[in-house]
C-alpha cells in the first residue's frame, strides 16, 4: 500500500484512540483532521460544541486557534520579503515610527528578530488580564504604550529566546504599514483566499457567532463542571492570537508549507522560516524549538513544524511534515484541552502503522481465517483498557488511555480463529506469548486473555467489575 493508503486504512483506529483520550480526559469537544498528500484522510468531531446546550460538535465549527496566528503573520511577512517590499533585517522602527520617536530600543529590533522571538519584547505587557476577559485586548495605542513603557524591552536583542505576543502585534502593524491594508484584509487576500479557505480568518467575526464552538474553563483540582467562556476580539494582537479556523482547513493551510507547494511561498522562504533559530531549555531540559515564525518539533524520526494555540477556552495544535507531506491538526474547546497530547499520539500511531516495530516482520493474513476486523475491539479489566486494533493492515495491542500510545504497544499475528501471538521483543508485557480470544454465537469477541488476565468488552466489564472488588462477592460465570 502507498503511504496514504496505509494512513487511510489506519484512520478508523486513529479516531477510536482519540475518542478514548477525549473521554478519559473529560474534554468537551475535539476536532481532528489528518491530511496525507492530496487526501484529507480523517476529518472528525468528537463530543460537544457547548456544554451548556449540549450541541454536538461538528467538523465545520470554528475554533479560535490563537498562536497559530503567528505562522499566518510570518507567512504574510515572507510574502512581502519575496516581493521585495520588506527586508528581514529592516528595523521595526522603520515601519513603526512611534518606536523610534519614543526612544525604545525595540526600534532597532529587526523583523527577523521579532519573527523568531529574539527581540527582547515583553510577552504581554505589565497588565495582561485581557487574557482573563478583565478588559479588552489592546488596540494599537495600548499595544504601543505597553511596548514603549519602562520594561517594554525586557531583554537585549538576541540575548535569549523571549516569546512575545506584543512582538507579533508589532509585526501586524508592520504588515499594515508595508501593504497599506488592514491586517485582516491583507491576510484574507494574500493567505486564506489563495488556498480557498472559507472558514479561516484573522479575527472574531460577530456575524458568525453561531458557528463558533464555545470555549470552556479548565477542571481545577478535581472539579467536575466547566463554565462557558465568551469569545472576544483580540484587536491589535490579531497577528499574534486572533485567527479562527477548523481542523480540516488548517491541514490545507499546513500543506501550503510542504516543500514544492508554491501557492503561498517559494521553497527558499519555507527553508528560512523552518530553519532552527532557537532551542529553549529549562533546568537542563529542552522544552521547545523555534524557527522564523514557526515552531519546530521532532516526534520519532519526523522533523515537524507548526504551532500550538492557547485562547481563553480553546487549546489547539497543528503539526506539519513538510517533506513527507503529512499534516495533523487537533482543536479542543477547553482551556486544559489535550490538543498536543492527541496530535502527538496520532503522529506516533501513523508512524507505527507505516513502520512495524524493529525486528518484526508483518505476516500476510491467511484468507482462510476470519478477517482482521473480526479480531478488533476495545476491552477492559480491573487494570485498565486494551485495544486489539487494525493499524494499517496489521493487528496491534494498544492501551488507549495512556498518553503515549506507543507505551506498551505490541505487534501480534493471527495464529487461528481464536488465537493471536505477540511478537517476541524486549518488553514488560506479553512478548512471545499467546493471546486467547473467546467468541459468542455471532462470532463477536466476548473476551481476550493476555498475560493470563481476561478482559471483556467495556460494558460487559462494567457488569462484572463489582465482583472484582471483594472476595466475598460472587463471581460471574465466564
For residue 384, the domain's CATH number is 2.40.128
pLDDT at 359: 60
Overall average pLDDT of the 170-185 stretch? 98
Do 409 and 283 reside in the same domain of the chain?
Answer: no
Q: Residue 316: what pLDDT?
A: 98
Residue 346 and residue 436 in one domain: no
pLDDT at 139 over 80: yes
Q: Is the pLDDT of residue 385 over 70?
A: yes
The answer to the question of residue 199 being in a domain is: yes
Q: What value does the mean pLDDT of the chain take?
A: 96
pLDDT of residue 361: 63
Residue 477 has pLDDT above 70, yes or no: no
Indicate if 343 and 419 belong to the same structural domain: no
Within-domain flag for 475:
no
pLDDT digits (tens, 9 = 90+) for 412-469: 999 999 999 999 988 888 889 999 999 999 999 999 999 999 999 999 999 999 999 9
What is the structure's pLDDT at 241?
Answer: 98
Residue 144 pLDDT exceeds 80: yes
Cα 77 from Cα 49, distance rounded (Å):
34
| pLDDT score for 430 | 85
Distance CA 371, CA 388 (A): 13
Clarify whether residues 377 and 261 are in a common domain: no
Each residue's pLDDT tens digit, 355-372: 987 666 666 777 788 899
474 in a structural domain: no
Last residue in a domain, options 293, 320, 355: 355
Residues 322 and 428 in one domain: no
Q: Which of 321, 355, 389 is the last residue of a domain?
A: 355
Q: Tell me, yes or no, whether 365 lies in a domain.
A: no
Instruction: Return phi, psi of residue 46, to 5°.
Output: -125, 135
pTM: 0.96
Structure confidence at residue 276 (pLDDT): 96
Which pLDDT value is given to residue 145? 97
Give me the domain span that covers residue 456. Answer: 372-468
SS3 302: strand
Rounded to an integer, the average pLDDT of 118-124 is: 98
Q: Are residues 222 and 296 in the same domain?
A: yes
* pLDDT at position 344: 98
User: pLDDT digit string (tens) for 4-58?
Assistant: 999 999 999 999 999 999 999 999 999 999 999 999 999 999 999 999 999 999 9
User: How much of the chain, in percent, has pLDDT values that exceed 70?
Assistant: 97
Q: Yes or no: say if 158 and 114 are a contact pair by the CB < 8 Å rule.
A: no
d(CA 342, CA 300): 15
> Using CA atoms, how far apart are residues 458 and 386, in angstroms rounded to an integer?
10
pLDDT reported for residue 478: 64
Amino acid at each position: 500500500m502507498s503511504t496514504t493508503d496505509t494512513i487511510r486504512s489506519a484512520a478508523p483506529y486513529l479516531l477510536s484512540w482519540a475518542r478514548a483520550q477525549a473521554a478519559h480526559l473529560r474534554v468537551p469537544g475535539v476536532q481532528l483532521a489528518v491530511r496525507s498528500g492530496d487526501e484529507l484522510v480523517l476529518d472528525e468531531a468528537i463530543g460537544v460544541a457547548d456544554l451548556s446546550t449540549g450541541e454536538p460538535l461538528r467538523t465545520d465549527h470554528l475554533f479560535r486557534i490563537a498562536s497559530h496566528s503567528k505562522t499566518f503573520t510570518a507567512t504574510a511577512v515572507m510574502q512581502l520579503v519575496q516581493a521585495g517590499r520588506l527586508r528581514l533585517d529592516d528595523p521595526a522602527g522603520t515601519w513603526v515610527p512611534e518606536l523610534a520617536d519614543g526612544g525604545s530600543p525595540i526600534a532597532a529590533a529587526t523583523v527577523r528578530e521579532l519573527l523568531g522571538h529574539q527581540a527582547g519584547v515583553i510577552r504581554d505587557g505589565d497588565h495582561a488580564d485581557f487574557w482573563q476577559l478583565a478588559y479588552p485586548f489592546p488596540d494599537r495605542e495600548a499595544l504601543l504604550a505597553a511596548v514603549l513603557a519602562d520594561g517594554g524591552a525586557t531583554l537585549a536583542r538576541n540575548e535569549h529566546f523571549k516569546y512575545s505576543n506584543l512582538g507579533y502585534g508589532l509585526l501586524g502593524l508592520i504588515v499594515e504599514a508595508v501593504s497599506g491594508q488592514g491586517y485582516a484584509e491583507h491576510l484574507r487576500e494574500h493567505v486564506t483566499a489563495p488556498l480557498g479557505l472559507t472558514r479561516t480568518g484573522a479575527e472574531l467575526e460577530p456575524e458568525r457567532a453561531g458557528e463558533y464552538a464555545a470555549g470552556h474553563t479548565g477542571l481545577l483540582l478535581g472539579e467536575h463542571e466547566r463554565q462557558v467562556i465568551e469569545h472576544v476580539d483580540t484587536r491589535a494582537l490579531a497577528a499574534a492570537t486572533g485567527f479562527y479556523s477548523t481542523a480540516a482547513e488548517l491541514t490545507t493551510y499546513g500543506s501550503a508549507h510542504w516543500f514544492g507547494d508554491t501557492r503561498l511561498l517559494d521553497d527558499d522562504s519555507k527553508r528560512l522560516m523552518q530553519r532552527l533559530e532557537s532551542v529553549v531549555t529549562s533546568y537542563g531540559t529542552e522544552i521547545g524549538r523555534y524557527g522564523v515564525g514557526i515552531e519546530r518539533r521532532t516526534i520519532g524520526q519526523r522533523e515537524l513544524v507548526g504551532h500550538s494555540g492557547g485562547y481563553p477556552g480553546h487549546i489547539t495544535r497543528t503539526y506539519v511534515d513538510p517533506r513527507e507531506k503529512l499534516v495533523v491538526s487537533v482543536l479542543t474547546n477547553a482551556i486544559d484541552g489535550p490538543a498536543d497530547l492527541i496530535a502527538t499520539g496520532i503522529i506516533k500511531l501513523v508512524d507505527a502503522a507505516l513502520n512495524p516495530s524493529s525486528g518484526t516482520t508483518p505476516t500476510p493474513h491467511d484468507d482462510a481465517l476470519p478477517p482482521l476486523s473480526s479480531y478488533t475491539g476495545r476491552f477492559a479489566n480491573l487494570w485498565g483498557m486494551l485495544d486489539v486494533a487494525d493499524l494499517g493492515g496489521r493487528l496491534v495491542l494498544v492501551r488507549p488511555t495512556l498518553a503515549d500510545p506507543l507505551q506498551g504497544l505490541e505487534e501480534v499475528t493471527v495464529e487461528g480463529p481464536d488465537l493471536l501471538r505477540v511478537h517476541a521483543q524486549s518488553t514488560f508485557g506479553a512478548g512471545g506469548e499467546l493471546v486467547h480470544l473467546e467468541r459468542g454465537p455471532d462470532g463477536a469477541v466476548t473476551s481476550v486473555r493476555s498475560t493470563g488476565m481476561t478482559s471483556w468488552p467495556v460494558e460487559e466489564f462494567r457488569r462484572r467489575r463489582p465482583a472484582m472488588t471483594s472476595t466475598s462477592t460472587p463471581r460471574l460465570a465466564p
